[in-house]
Amino acid sequence: MQTERVTFLTTPDTKAALAARAAAQGVSLGEYIRRRVENEDDVTPQQEAELAALVEQVNEAVPRMETALDEMSRKLRTTHQEVDRLLREMGARR
């Protein structure tokens, strides 16, 4: 089998993270990267459909989350104003 060398640049932190992942799997850094690259293309149609379903669920959930966060923010602001008012009435705050 003939092989060729591929070189790429990365940050020291990324290289260390890749090396740690490789060590955790008991393989060399080169073998780890080869496996990751080869497996990247092995997405089955079922996995792709599952991912598409997850993306759809997230897209549906985000507006609800934004609404909930906006409501929570309003409630916190109102509560803060009420606590501030009560503390001023008690003379604990100017």
Domain boundaries, the chain: 1-42, 45-94
Positions of the chain with pLDDT lower than 70, given as ranges: 40-41
pLDDT confidence of residue 41: 64
What is the pLDDT at residue 60? Answer: 96
Q: How many residues does the chain have?
A: 94
